[in-house]
Amino acid sequence: MKKLTILGLILSLLLFAGTASATKGTVGLGAGMAPDYEGSDDTEAVPMFMFTHMYDSGRFVKLMGTNMKVNLLANKQFFVGPALNYRMGRDDVDNNRVDDMRDIDDAFEAGFFGGIDYNNLLVGMEVLYDVSDEHDGWSAQGTLGYRWKATPDLAIIPGVFMTWADDDYMSTYFGVNAGNVGTSGLPNYSATSDIKDAGINLVVNYTPWENWGIMGLFSYKALLNDAKDSPVVDIEGDDKQVTLGVMATYRWGK
């Protein structure tokens, strides 16, 4: 039932996207490297993609990787709307002891976001809840960034973020107990709600051609509190997490 709800929400958002006249958009495709689970010190190659559809009113649909946002406000400065996220699970990872734990399936999360774009200062908040019965938890992330137009063809967007997660999320991804320890031999550990991570993002968008461009992405986050001290991180992984990638982009419209 919940999967049908998710599908219905996605279709509703796409239907909304088709009801307004789009003025411009961008699609991007590329590749990058990311930890093979949250807290891992092993990386894996991952596909990277993005899609934006902007409207005269200020409404938009934005898909960045596995995260989708739809602004419902007819406003170019304030944004509010639904958000969807696909969270990768923990299965068949490189670390043998963590791989011996019970697998965590991929999760679908739904919620809302809000934001402000004021003179290129970007402030945002996103709240998500698991609707797939995988971790049954909540998370909330606040972001602060700035869009610097270095040249007409080059935009640089540095930002900072911080994420809070509740007991259910923390227990699923960072806890070790009789239900998930498997044959790993890791010590029992209880992870409770707290600030989970903080970090920085950097997006560099270079568009020297009429329609084509290149986008580079870099993200660094430090796991904190119970996430940092979890055996899957402290003993077998790394609390410092880096994701990076590059995409070719194509733009249309004015």
| pLDDT tens figures, 184-241 | 999 999 999 999 999 999 999 999 998 999 999 999 999 999 999 999 999 999 999 9
- Cross-strand partners of 159: 145, 201
pLDDT of residue 76: 85
Per-residue model confidence as pLDDT tens digits over 113-156 = 999 999 999 999 999 999 999 999 999 999 999 999 999 999 99
- With a CB cutoff of 8 Å and minimum separation 6, the contacts of 190 are 171, 175, 177, 226
Is it the case that residue 249 has pLDDT exceeding 50? yes
Distances (CA, A) of 78 to 117, 121, 125: 7, 12, 12
Is it the case that residue 10 has pLDDT exceeding 60? no
d(CA 5, CA 243): 31
Binning pLDDT at 50, 70 and 90, where does residue 17 land? low
- With a CB cutoff of 8 Å and minimum separation 6, the contacts of 27 are 49, 50, 51, 52, 249, 250
Domain count, the chain: 1
Binning pLDDT at 50, 70 and 90, where does residue 1 land? very low
Binning pLDDT at 50, 70 and 90, where does residue 75 land? confident
d(CA 27, CA 252): 9
Give residue 79's domain range: 2-253
For residue 191, the domain's CATH number is: 2.40.160.40
Q: 3-state class of 61 per DSSP?
A: strand
End-to-end CA distance of the chain: 41
Span 97-117, average pLDDT: 96
DSSP symbol at 187: P
Q: What are phi and psi of 97, to 5 degrees?
A: -70, -45
